[in-house]
Structure 1
Amino acid sequence: MTVIVRAFRAPGDAEAVARVRRAALPFMLVTPEALVFEGEHAHPNSRYRPLVAEEGGEVIATARVGLAHDSPEPGVGYANVYVHPERRGRGAGTAVVRAAEEYLAGAGATEVYTWVLDEPGHRAFAERHGYRAGRTAHFLRLDLAGGTLPPLRTPPDGVRIVPASDFAGDPRPLFELDAATTADEPGDVATELTDYAHWLDETWGHPLFSRELTSVAVVDGRPVAFSAARTDGSTRYGTAMTGTAREYRGRGLAKLAKNDSLHRARDAGFTEAFTGNDAGNAPMLAVNEWFGYEICATEVRHVRTLG
């Protein structure tokens, strides 16, 4: 049968696309509701356009495609492709990549970044399509149901650990902390969070984001460290970001916040915890190893110059 690539249609495609993404990359949280939300709330400058590939009316592949609008570098695009493992070898991946590159070139991208599983077949596919390997990142998993978390510790004097929901009246201090720590994240593409209104809409309001399970270390009323939590509303919990303001690093505050969040997630009935780390982020990898996380998969960032 012929593979057809087209734009994602919400909400009709959401369940099928979520199923493909869970099968292709089970270490990331995704729900139909989140897919619809992300399409409706994407920043206009991101030119976000998710794609699907159909064969005989069945969605067998999909891609997240857009511009890195929050990067200070112009012309940076991304295309993360997911093919259902049982439908590989039918040309869907190639068709989606070509459609994504054509769209991004028209949107002004000069480079396209993509994450590729660190497996021979996946890396060979990327290389055949002209992509060059870059930095590496790990997916990590923690068994919340059967594992043992480190005991909760009393915060040092002057520090309180509170849920992010305590900032519901004014989340701006959390935005400022998120922006400061995100700017220090290792990566191929720099990120600058400057649009508070969009952060409120896309991050604070995201259906996977849990304000109740996100833990924040507060000093003198100011948030100085945090561990942002997402959940699929069922059994899976994920850490979206953990960070500390520069002047408060080295005191173990992010570890305290993350431990608090993990304990509350387990108490709420979540059985699996996932997170991701750049392979060069040794301090955070050490923190996650202390919690009992184990690497369950590795990805390699690839890039291709268009034109």
Structure 2
Amino acid sequence: MATLEIIEDDEALRDWVDVVDAADVWGIPSFEDARHLRGLHPGRVDGVLRLDGRPVGAAFVRPAGGESAEPCGIAGLWVIPAFRCQGLGSAMHRAFSEHARRLGLRELQIEAHESQHDARVYLERRGYEEIGREVELVLELDALPMPEVKPPAGITLVTRAERPDVLAGMYQVAKEAIPDIPVDEADEVGSFEEWLATDMDRPIHTHDLTFIAMEGAEVVGYAVLQRGRGGVAFHSLTGVRRAWRGRGIASALKRAQVAAAKRAGFRRLVTENAVGNEPIRHLNEVMGYKPLMSTILYRGPLLDGGRSAR
């Protein structure tokens, strides 16, 4: 018998994390990070689906966040591979569509990895359409020589651990860099407090792997690495203020990240680039990143409670 439990405590959240870790292409970085994310968005609901008591599915839904008034929420659906194609994903989708309606939402955005054929077919059959795509790339570090880090003239690179006092300047970078990412629907930067909680203070964002580019006392760029599992780290934003672009600052930040990752014992770096983001895609190609499959962002309707599972 399948039952859906809305998560209210750490015990249930650990089961949720175990399911996502088993079902997601890259797994989940840590329980601590999952708990942190749960507290970021008012209205977020998480659930774990149990089959005869065993956790086999996980889901969440939340409003878009930031300053967006868009009636489209963000959702995630995962089913452990051995239990797919049994209607369990549909059961969670219907239940969380009802949660979304109570939040005033009319549509959902859901990601699917290009390698997840069943997930893509499932979404497309239910009226979901592709609205964006990010190409994943990987840099294998074991055989890579330690890169030389040479910032442009007048630019100094420091870590957040060295300069914890420049967060306000980093926020100004985010306010220019994030809206300029060429995607169909720009991400919301949100308030300083929202940006700090979402982009800076997650448990997987460590201060020694956050690099800041400064010209004198002014912050002109920054780059963040996320600690993953199994020797993998993930690039978060690499951003430069508009007036300082084209000078090699992003390249210097990326090379500093690669060097720091090698010193920290990571074996590979993974990044996602929007298909239309030619400058960062060119930089990653020059640095030796190799393409993997894409992550696809779908948008589509809420399911009604009477729709049959397939």
Q: TM-score, normalised by structure 1?
A: 0.90
Residue 55 (structure 1) aligned with residue 51 (structure 2): yes
Question: Which of residues 209, 233, 239 in structure 1 aligns to 2:205?
Answer: 209
Question: Which of residues 229, 235, 244 in structure 1 aligns to 2:231?
Answer: 235
Which residue identity does 1:168 align to in structure 2?
P
Deviation at 1:253, TM superposition (A): 0.7
- Aligned pairs, how many? 302
| 2:24 aligned residue | 25
| 1:42 aligned residue | 40
Q: Which runs of 5+ in 2 are unaligned?
A: 305-310
Distance 1:236 1:43 in 2: 27
Name the SS for the 1:286 alignment partner.
helix
Output one character per residue of 1:74-121: Cα deviation in whole Å (capped at 9) or x when no partner. Answer: 212111212222221222211111122111111011221111222432
Deviation at 1:151, TM superposition (A): 2.4
Question: Which of residues 214, 217, 222 in structure 2 aligns to 1:218?
Answer: 214
Question: Which of residues 129, 133, 138 in structure 1 aligns to 2:135?
Answer: 138
Deviation at 1:234, TM superposition (A): 6.3
Residue 294 (structure 1) aligned with residue 293 (structure 2): no
| 1:128 aligned residue | 125
Deviation at 1:187, TM superposition (A): 2.7
Give the 5 Å matches for 1:40-119.
41-44=39-42, 47-118=43-114, 119=116
Distance 2:9 2:250 in 1: 37
Distance 2:11 2:273 in 1: 33
Name the SS for the 2:147 alignment partner.
coil
Q: TM-score, normalised by structure 2?
A: 0.89
Pick closer, same or farther for the CA change 1:185–1:50 going to 2, 3 Å. Answer: farther
Q: Identity over the aligned pairs, expressed in percent?
A: 24
Distance 2:24 2:276 in 1: 22
Distance 1:99 1:163 in 2: 44
Contact (CA 8 Å) 1:43, 1:198: kept in 2 or not? no
Which residue identity does 2:138 align to in structure 1?
R
Pick closer, same or farther for the CA change 1:290–1:64 going to 2, 3 Å. Answer: farther
| 1:152 aligned residue | 148
Which residue identity does 1:177 align to in structure 2?
V
Distance 2:290 2:20 in 1: 22
Deviation at 1:67, TM superposition (A): 0.7
Distance 1:59 1:188 in 2: 35
Contact (CA 8 Å) 2:137, 2:272: kept in 1 or not? yes
Output one character per residue of 1:227-283: Cα deviation in whole Å (capped at 9) or x when no partner. Answer: 111113762211111111111111121111011011111101112212111122222
The range that moved more, 252-261 or 288-297, is 288-297
Contact (CA 8 Å) 1:162, 1:215: kept in 2 or not? yes
Output one character per residue of 1:114-143: Cα deviation in whole Å (capped at 9) or x when no partner. Answer: 112224322210022221222211222222
Q: Which runs of 5+ in 1 are unaligned?
A: none
Q: Runs ≥4 in structure 1, deviation > 4 angstroms? A: none
